[in-house]
Structure 1
């Protein structure tokens, strides 16, 4: 039996409920970075580029996390708001969160009963009114037998569902058909729209020893290329699967054990061939939709990569966007240096410098005569496979629904445009691939 399976012993829903084991597990998660059992889904010690600084002192078994009584108990949030707000039924969500400060931190709440530690922002709780003897929803209801109806593991942060069950917040925000009826409160969780195809998927990690699953138990699938490997969110995280925040309609980007070092940007870049001036292509416009266009020029441009403190990032920054340094006159900052970035909303945000690179960019002219500068990964040549996620954003110059560049029917607009203050036109919006051979593909 794998080590990660042993580490979850006593938490599997096929075993008798043991609340004391849940408490030990939840306490263990509280004493590890990032200190929140919801944000844990996006944390990886090797891949994390943040300088945690003073936050490191918060991760100790001697520290008791209590709701928002000191600055030391405000920890960095790794879950962008879009992970909770993504929904085709809510095309223009408000992505603000009153529980997250301008520094990207939120108070930690620690349930006095089950011992879970969660950001107030991730759990949907008002930190100003949370008492020191705060209890999570499950413990307020005294449901000591509670299990998540979307996976096979106990413990963690649970919220009630519309069907009278419980579900992990991390499971709910990772499965595309599952939504939060009240986004601000993260509750109740609507699990009634899960497709029959998803319900048939088997978890690669737990199917060998768990023969029965809850009625709504649902898997996600690997996001790399056409890989159709499926798994429960909690099983995958326990087994070491890498997960990152993504974009509608796939809020979580997961790379399975077959692609342990897959980088979603590098995967497509490595196989891209150059485009020529005068070539007809499909390209990404400033409105984040894709249209037919013509390449009219190319050149090299320096871009800077900065990580912000809410786990968002931009790798498309021009040197002049970094107002704390004069990069055109002096050397670029060193990796990890703190920088200030002037964003498109006119506000200056703090972040950590990652790297800079020179990338070939292309000027493309669209059918309405507008010219936009784009990276190669935002261009699709004739004959290149267009991922499902990009096909949902294909449009034509007029409002009428015509045939697109490849002769396929244009899909009607049902999705929202990401309005996160850090959202940028980048490869992360164009790398999801379709898998026509699988039963379904996230």
Structure 2
């Protein structure tokens, strides 16, 4: 029996609700937990459930996010046959979902090349300089800030803000300096 612990790998919320429960992967040595809506699960299974990575049975060493150096977490296939974290796709503006209900495949063909030529300041500050330029980075949402970072390193600094007319939610993140000065967003732990 697998111990059911941990929050959603997409939004980090540890709570589940009857209309949006946390679903835990039954894959061997997999720690993925996701809300039904956060991962695009159309019907909550009554029996075992496997995340897309475990379902694919692809060798773990070959599965890595195309946008960050992290290999664990809630991954989905991309339009190029690779993998991407759902959270990375939500926070990198040029990424989108081919099917918004199932949240797959993650479409990366619209990512501009310059998105991949940034240096993650968190990797550099955390003695992970070798990974600082892997994948794609988002930029701090504060106008004029030049800090870039991988989405998956920013747990606790990612936000949902009220969107404009056609956008009901804007996903954004801030560097640690600007996050401390932040007011008016719902923080995703």
Same-fold call, TM > 0.5? yes
Distance 1:231 1:244 in 2: 14
* Deviation per residue, 1:323-359 (Å, 9 max, x gap): xxxxxxxxxxxxxxxxxxxxxxxxxxxxxxxxxxxxx
1:230 partnered with 2:148: yes
1:112 partnered with 2:26: yes
Alignment of 1:127-146 (within 5 A): 127-128=43-44, 130-143=45-58, 144-145=60-61, 146=63
Per the TM alignment, residue 157 of structure 1 is displaced from its structure 2 partner at its CA by 0.3
* Deviation per residue, 1:225-250 (Å, 9 max, x gap): 3112100001222xx5x221133498
Confirm or deny: 8 A CA contact 1:224 1:264 kept in the other structure. no
**Equivalent residue, structure 2, for 1:126:** 42
Alignment of 1:330-349 (within 5 A): none
Per the TM alignment, residue 121 of structure 1 is displaced from its structure 2 partner at its CA by 1.1
Give unpaired runs (5+ residues) of structure 2: none
Confirm or deny: 8 A CA contact 1:176 1:250 kept in the other structure. no
* Deviation per residue, 1:97-147 (Å, 9 max, x gap): xxx83xxxx02211111231111111111234x242111111111122211
| Dislocated runs of 4+, deviation >6 Å | none
Alignment partner of 2:9 out of 22, 37, 41: 37
Distance 1:249 1:175 in 2: 17
* Deviation per residue, 1:147-191 (Å, 9 max, x gap): 111101121100000111110000011000000001100100011
Number of equivalenced pairs: 174
SS in 2 for 1:39: coil
TM-score (norm: length of structure 2): 0.80
Distance 1:162 1:249 in 2: 25
Distance 1:191 1:250 in 2: 20
**Equivalent residue, structure 2, for 1:432:** none
TM-score (norm: length of structure 1): 0.36
Distance 1:173 1:188 in 2: 13
Distance 1:205 1:255 in 2: 12
Distance 1:255 1:154 in 2: 23
Distance 1:225 1:152 in 2: 26
1:254 partnered with 2:168: no
Distance 1:178 1:249 in 2: 17
> What's the C-alpha RMSD, in Å, of the aligned pairs?
2.7
* Deviation per residue, 1:260-307 (Å, 9 max, x gap): 4222449xxxxxxxxxxxxxxxxxxxxxxxxxxxxxxxxxxxxxxxxx
Distance 2:141 2:117 in 1: 18
Give unpaired runs (5+ residues) of structure 1: 1-26, 44-58, 60-73, 77-99, 267-310, 313-442
Q: Which has the larger radius of gyration?
A: 1
Alignment of 1:31-430 (within 5 A): 31-32=5-6, 35-40=7-12, 75-76=16-17, 101=19, 106-113=20-27, 114-128=30-44, 130-143=45-58, 144-145=60-61, 146-207=63-124, 208-211=127-130, 214=134, 217-237=135-155, 240=156, 242-246=157-161, 247=163, 248=167, 251-265=170-184
